[in-house]
């Protein structure tokens, strides 16, 4: 039986989500992206794990390539790249960036303007250049997620009516609904390194967990970034089954100023994927202890 084929133009969040979904259904997928990498705001180790998993499902990646034209034939489509390559596919999905749907809002009549992608500039209170007008969600750009957009609306409303409000913008989780999922909260290794913040990494792999074996997830992983000075959690990065749920445990600990010692000392249900936190916490604690032994 012939497998269907799909060309996805754009390796952003939406493009990779759909590429992974169709690949999981048995479609032969080719991803074309003009940038040299995908999901560059995520942890590189997590992204590499996703790429390995997708390649194992016969997904082909064409990075550093631009689409020149797409032709529709009697048998499907042919996508021609600037490099001269041609890719045959039943369908082409174009997913090369979001546009703010602001064209019909008559922004100029309100004294506002949008950029070339329909986005409106706001300050830290989500106020536009017109003081009594606020904007939130996709029309102000990244992260453009449903969860963050709803919270932005809550915060903007409080500011508009001079109500007290607290924003935990640094601890907003990012969820990418690929198959498997990716989710993270807090800082990445690149951000911490760039800011000269000393940290250590704790790793846990689903294959080490009873629940991982039960659900058949041998590729999932959880990474904790822990400060070596005060042992607080600086970031949590998850790849695998239920990643977008699991990330909230780390988010809650970070929001309360907790340390990795809480995860070492606490008891987590068995068998659960949440045990990954315990394994990662023990891993990073042992690394910090070894470092202190060498230094002290």
- Together in a domain, 180 and 272: yes
For residue 178, what pLDDT is reported?
97
Domain limit, last residue, from 139, 169, 199: 169
State both tokens at 216: 């058949």
Q: How confident is the model at residue 296 (pLDDT cuts 50, 70, 90)?
A: low
Q: What percent of the chain has pLDDT over 70?
A: 99
For residues 137 and 156, state if they share a domain: yes
Relative to beta strand 86-89, strand 91-94 is unpaired
- Picking from 63, 94, 125, the residue at the C-terminal end of a domain is 94
Assess whether pLDDT exceeds 80 at residue 20.
yes
Instruction: Please give the biggest Cα pair distance in the chain.
Output: 73
Task: Give the mean pLDDT of 230-257.
Answer: 97
Q: Are residues 201 and 247 in the same domain?
A: yes
Least confident of 11-15, 138-142, 167-171, 183-187: 167-171
- Residues 182 and 289 occupy one common structural domain: yes
Q: pLDDT digit string (tens) for 204-217?
A: 999 999 999 999 99
Same domain for 264 and 182: yes
Average pLDDT over residues 101-113: 92
Residue whose tokens read 């992608």: 117
Backbone angles phi, psi at 174, to 5 degrees: -110, 125
pLDDT digits (tens, 9 = 90+) for 132-170: 999 999 999 988 889 999 999 999 999 999 999 988 878
**pLDDT of res. 2:** 57
Q: Would the pLDDT of 68 be above 60?
A: yes
What's the CATH number where 71 sits? 3.50.50.60
Torsion, Cα of 17, 175, 204, 38 (10° steps): 50
28-33 sheet: strands from edge to edge:
60-63, 28-33, 5-9, 91-94
Give the pLDDT of residue 87: 97
Q: Are residues 160 and 264 in the same domain?
A: no
Split into its structural domains, the chain has a count of 3
Which of 50-54, 138-142, 222-226, 237-241 is predicted with the least confidence, judged by mean pLDDT? 138-142
Q: What is the pLDDT of residue 197?
A: 97
Q: Which of 140, 169, 198 is the last residue of a domain?
A: 169
Residues 140 and 203 in one domain: no
Q: Are residues 38 and 115 in the same domain?
A: no
The 3-state DSSP class for residue 116 equals: coil
Count of alpha carbons within 13 angstroms of residue 103, beta-carbon side: 4
pLDDT for 142 equals 85
With a cut of 90, say whether residue 191 has pLDDT above it: yes
Residues 260 and 164 in one domain: no
- Which residue segment(s) compose the domain that 38 sits in? 5-94
For residue 265, what are the contacts with CB-CB under 8 A and spacing of at least 6? none
CATH number at residue 230: 3.30.390.30
Q: Are 14 and 95 in contact (CB under 8 A)?
A: yes
| Judgement on whether residues 183 and 283 belong to the same structural domain of the protein | yes
DSSP classification of residue 127: B
Say if residue 223 is in the same domain as residue 152: no
Lowest mean pLDDT among 160-174, 237-251, 276-290: 160-174
Same domain, yes or no: 145 and 226: no
Phi, psi of 95 (to 5 degrees): -140, 70
């Amino acid at each position: 039986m012939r497998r269907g084929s799909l060309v996805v133009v754009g390796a952003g969040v939406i493009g990779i989500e759909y590429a992974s979904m169709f690949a999981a259904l048995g479609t032969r997928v080719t991803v074309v992206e003009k940038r040299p990498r995908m999901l560059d705001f995520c942890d590189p180790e997590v992204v590499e794990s996703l790429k390995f998993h997708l390649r194992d499902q016969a997904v082909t990646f064409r990075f550093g390539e631009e689409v020149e034209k797409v032709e529709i034939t009697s048998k499907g489509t042919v996508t021609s790249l600037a490099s001269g390559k041609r890719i045959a596919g039943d369908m082409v999905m174009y997913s090369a960036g979001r546009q703010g749907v602001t064209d019909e809002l008559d922004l100029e009549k309100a004294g506002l303007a949008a950029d070339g992608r329909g986005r409106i500039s706001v300050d830290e209170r989500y106020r536009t250049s017109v003081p009594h007008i606020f904007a939130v969600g996709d029309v102000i750009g990244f992260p453009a997620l449903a969860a963050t957009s709803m919270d932005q609306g809550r915060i903007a409303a409080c500011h508009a009516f001079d109500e007290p409000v607290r924003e935990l913008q640094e601890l907003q989780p990012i969820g990418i609904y690929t198959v498997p999922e990716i989710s993270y909260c807090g800082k990445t290794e690149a951000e911490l390194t760039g800011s000269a913040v000393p940290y250590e990494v704790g790793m846990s792999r689903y294959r080490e967990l009873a629940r991982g074996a039960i659900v058949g997830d041998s590729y999932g992983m959880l990474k904790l970034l822990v400060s070596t000075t005060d042992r607080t959690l600086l970031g949590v990065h998850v790849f695998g089954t239920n990643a977008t749920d699991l990330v909230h445990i780390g988010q809650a600990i970070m929001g309360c100023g907790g340390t990795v010692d809480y995860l070492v000392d606490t008891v987590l249900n068995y068998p659960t994927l949440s045990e990954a936190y315990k394994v990662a916490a023990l891993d990073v604690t042992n690394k910090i202890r070894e470092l202190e032994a060498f230094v002290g």
